[in-house]
Amino acid sequence: MGEPNQLSRHNFMQAAIWGIGGFIGLGYVVSAIAYIVKPSLKNQQTQTWMRLGPTSKVELGIPTLFTFTIETQTGWISNTQEVSVYVLSTDGRTYIAMSNICTHLGCHVRWIVEKNQFTCPCHNGVFDVSGNVVSGPPPRPLDRYDVKVENDQLYVLVGG
Amino acid sequence: MVSKFTQWLDERTSFRQVWEAIFLRKIPKVNWWFTLGSASLFLALNQGITGILLTLYYVPTPDHAYDSVQYITTQVPLGWLVRGLHHWGASLMIVLVVLHMLRVILYGAYKFPREVTWFTGVILLLVVIGFGFTGYLLPWDQKSFWATTVGTRIAGTPPLIGDYLLRIIRGGSEITAVTLVRFFGVHVWVLPTLLILLIGIHLYLIIKNGISAVPQRGK
């Protein structure tokens, strides 16, 4: 070892090796994180209004099931996904559109006519006619879509 | 605090002794040609890291292989970099290990007591060529397909066993999904296992025997 404050050849090489090695290592780590994390956080779809069908199909006071398909791009594969929406109207003028995805853990809820309730088969979550939780584990009411009516056709806002 | 911890760890693992044996060992005065082995080791590390990253998106089936590679190259952030490092690293690897071998031959470094180091090195060369051969098919484009057609045909040329060899390598008489997935399996499981094992022995022997000096005239 040299005098204090004097950089010996040994110390210089040591610092250079650790420095350059650390720099290269950091390059790998940062690249790897971007490579792994960023595609997972990308939204698969842009916001669009999807046409459900005519308003005349909705029976007053009963959630009516509409289905439509959306194009999704997952990785390098394009596929179509079926989406189900329950539409409820109590006055024939205003409409609410509810997702059929249970707010507990994502299973599909069904409208049971006899019981006048939505039930989820996975963990017995029960929702009332407008999607509020009646019993079971769901932490919040069914999610709702923005709805609009144009020329007696129902539209919901999906994606984003 | 740190020194207390390293003290504690050293008492139980003797890691300092291992560190010194590997990095602070005495070596003869040598030249830059003696860095080719370390350079190959660094590249092997690069191939391992980028290869593992590629498998996160790559799918070894005929209907997805090409598209998943295109997805990595054009869509995944820095995917072009990861694939590029793996692609160019592979070519550079062949160049470096061949130069490394030439240095060992020309300096006579394969002689007693380093013959076993040399033998493992020869097998390592074959493993590296195997990596190149199997990896070339994986992008599943025209170039890979026809290169593998030709390469496996060459394997089919020996008399008597040639046809069997060709079928075993291809997993049938044609290049199909079976060929692709077995090349992938060999590329990511069989060869890396062999590589790690052989590099372990190779490095142990280098440290055990010490490296050879540059030959001097008249000695």
Residues of chain A with C-beta less than 8 angstroms from the C-beta of B81: 31
Residues of chain B with C-beta less than 8 angstroms from the C-beta of A35: 53, 56, 76-79, 82
Q: Which residue of A has its CA nearest to B81?
A: A31
Are B49 and A39 an interchain contact pair (Cβ–Cβ within 8 Å)? Answer: no
Overall average pLDDT of the B93-108 stretch? 97
Give the model's pLDDT for residue A93.
87
Distances in Å between the alpha carbon of B197 and those of A32, A141, B127?
26, 57, 11
Give the model's pLDDT for residue B136.
97
How far is residue B31's CA from residue B144's CA, in Å, rounded to a whole number? Answer: 39
Predicted confidence (pLDDT) at residue A60 exceeds the cutoff of 80: yes
Q: Is B171 left (phi over 0), alpha (psi -120 to 50) or beta?
A: left
- In sequence order, which residues have a C-beta less than 8 Å from that of residue B5 and are 6 or more positions away? none
Are A34 and B56 an interchain contact pair (Cβ–Cβ within 8 Å)? Answer: no
As to burial, measured by CB atoms within 10 angstroms (0-12 exposed, 13-18 middle, 19+ buried), residue A35 is buried
Complex confidence, ipTM: 0.88
Give the model's pLDDT for residue A92.
84
Predicted confidence (pLDDT) at residue B60 exceeds the cutoff of 90: yes
How far is residue B100's CA from residue B125's CA, in Å, rounded to a whole number? Answer: 10
Distances in Å between the alpha carbon of B62 and those of B137, B147, B153?
11, 16, 21
Give the model's pLDDT for residue A72.
81
3-state helix, strand, coil in chain A (%, to 5): 20, 35, 40
**Model confidence pLDDT, tens digit, residues B7-20:** 999 999 999 999 99
How far is residue A84's CA from residue B138's CA, in Å, rounded to a whole number? Answer: 40
Distances in Å between the alpha carbon of A81 and those of A69, A78, B33, B63?
5, 10, 59, 20
CB atoms within 10 A of CB B176: 12
For residue A66, give the 3-state DSSP assignment. Answer: strand
* Joined tokens for residue B116: 């076993």
Overall average pLDDT of the A44-68 stretch? 88
Closest CA to A110 of A126, A96, A123: A126
Predicted confidence (pLDDT) at residue B98 exceeds the cutoff of 70: yes
Residues of chain A with C-beta less than 8 angstroms from the C-beta of B70: 76
Return the percentage of chain A with pLDDT > 90, whole number.
Answer: 69
Predicted TM-score (pTM) of this structure: 0.86
By Cβ distance, the residue of B53, B56, B71 closest to A76 is: B71
